[in-house]
Amino acid sequence: MELKLTHLCYCLLLFLPLLSQSTIAKPSSSPNPSNNSINFIVSSCRVTRYQTLCVKCLTGFANKIRRNENRLTQTALAVTLVRVQSTTVYVAKLTKARRIKRREYLAVKDCVENLGDGLEMLAQSMRELRQVGGSGRDRDEFLWRLSNVETWVSAALTDETTCLDGFDGKVMDGVVKSAIRRRVVHVARVTSNALALVNRFAARHKS
């Protein structure tokens, strides 16, 4: 039984141009980010649930973020997108694991579809957040676009947590479940942090 990855491939093609065009796709090559930039990241990450992970994910981009909240939020989304993409490819490969049981295979297949949906939501969020930077002249449009980003990142987080639903129960315990849970829990935390930063950015502009 072959896993159909059409949706996954579509999502990967969708987001790759976003990262290749982004100036925040790679960590800064400068070895000495300013203390102000680091402090800005640390301070911003206080609104997240997983603060240590937040700081770890963003510190390498300090020289590109500087003290710009829009860049911080875009970077958080870009990092999330890369990690979700990597996890989706990893999970898809598990369908070919030796001696995988049918119920595990079906759960993995559903998980890949959920992660693929999340990738699409994150890609849309990145595109929309770029538009935010150019729509500041129209406050209503600006806030509307921010609301879209909040909705889509939240949906991506839901998709990631839904991925694990198919592995509920002791009957699903095993190597496949453990491998997927470890990866998906990590990206869900990264996404949760990105959502918190998006919400913070939006709240500052709504007030």
Q: At what angle do helices 69-93 and 102-134 cross, to 10 degrees?
A: 160
Q: Which pLDDT does position 78 carry in this prediction?
A: 94
pLDDT greater than 60 at residue 142: yes
- At CA 180, angle to CA 169 and CA 167, rounded to 5? 20
Amino acid at 108: V
Q: What is the rounded distance in angstroms from the CA atom of residue 67 to the CA atom of residue 50? A: 21
pLDDT greater than 90 at residue 81: yes
Q: What is the rounded distance in angstroms from the CA atom of residue 125 to the CA atom of residue 77? A: 8
Model pLDDT for residues 20-67, shown as the tens digit of each residue: 444 444 555 455 666 888 999 999 999 999 999 999 999 999 999 989
Which residue, among 14, 38, 25, has the nearest Cα to 78 in the 3D structure?
Answer: 25
pLDDT confidence band for 5 (50 / 70 / 90): very low
Q: What is the rounded distance in angstroms from the CA atom of residue 177 to the CA atom of residue 114? A: 16
Cβ atoms of 157 and 188 closer than 8 Å: yes
pLDDT confidence band for 7 (50 / 70 / 90): very low
**Beta-carbon-side half-sphere exposure of residue 138 (alpha carbons within 13 Å):** 9
Which residue, among 81, 64, 204, has the nearest Cα to 132 in the 3D structure?
Answer: 204
CA 131 to chain CA centroid, Å, is 19
Q: Which pLDDT does position 149 carry in this prediction?
A: 95
pLDDT confidence band for 156 (50 / 70 / 90): very high
Residue 162, C-beta contacts closer than 8 angstroms, at least 6 positions apart: 114
pLDDT greater than 60 at residue 1: no
Tokens of 112: 């890949």
pTM of the prediction? 0.84
pLDDT greater than 60 at residue 188: yes
